[in-house]
Amino acid sequence: MTVIQQEWMSNALFSGLPPDCVERLSHTTRNESFESRELIFREGEPADGFHLIQKGSVALEIFVEGRGAVMIETLGPGEVLGWSWLVEPYRWHFDAKALTATQTIVFGGRVVREVFESHRDCGYLMLKRFLPIIVQRLQATRLQFLDVYHARA
């Protein structure tokens, strides 16, 4: 097992996956580093994979005409950045920017989708793990819109 593989295998997203699935996913990975304030991806660009954040923090932003960039969420170590690679037409829905010096492991989207197609069991397992993350983020975003802290005097 390579060092990079050990790093991502320790994440709950991948724990207990069949060895052949791990083996195939490992061919899609690469390390990336970003300086503070560096753009990781931009809305509308091709979503070429997802990032597993190892160090640092990342802000998801949306550009609003007349207001500029608005931060909507921040993510930190151990968290997954990006799922637009899972959904056609595979383009980013938000901007992602490193808030501090950030290191990630990137999983190539096209190859991961191919692995999911050819190894349906592996794909099903992975989707079952991605879905709670997506639901959790959706729930958190809904709560943000509710302005929950101002209900109490």
Partner 1 sequence: MPAREATLTAVFEGHDAMLPSWFRVARIRSETQDTFTLELTADGEKTDFTFQPGQFNMLYVFGVGEVPISISGPPPLRDRIIHTIRAVGTVTRNLWRLKHGDIVGVRGPFGTAWPLKEAEGRDVVIVTGGIGLAPLRPVLYHLLHHRKKFGRVILLYGARTPNDLLYGDEFLWPALPLDLTVDYTVDRAKTDWRGQIGVVTTLIPRAEFDPSRAVTMVCGPEVMMRFTIRALSERGVASERIYVSMERSMKCAVGFCGHCQYGPAFVCKDGPVFRWDRVERLFGIREL
Token digits for 33?
């580093």
The only residue of 38, 78, 110, 117 in contact with partner 1, by rule CB under 8 A: 78
Token digits for 93?
């829905």
Nearer to partner 1, 120 or 150 (CB): 150
The only residue of 4, 9, 62, 72 in contact with partner 1, by rule CB under 8 A: 72
DSSP strand pairing (39-41 vs 68-75): unpaired
Candidates 2-10, 17-25, 72-80, 82-90: pick the segment binding partner 1 (CB under 8 A).
72-80
Query: Which residues 108-137 are close enough to bind partner 1 by CB under 8 A?
Result: 136
**Alpha helices (H) in the chain, listed in sequence order:** 3-9, 19-26, 109-118, 120-146
Query: Quick check: 52 binds partner 1 (CB under 8 A)?
Result: no
Backbone angles phi, psi at 108, to 5 degrees: -65, 125
- The three-state secondary structure class of 63 is strand
Give the binding site for partner 1 (CB under 8 A): 57, 59-61, 68-74, 76, 78, 99-100, 136, 139-140, 143-144, 146-153
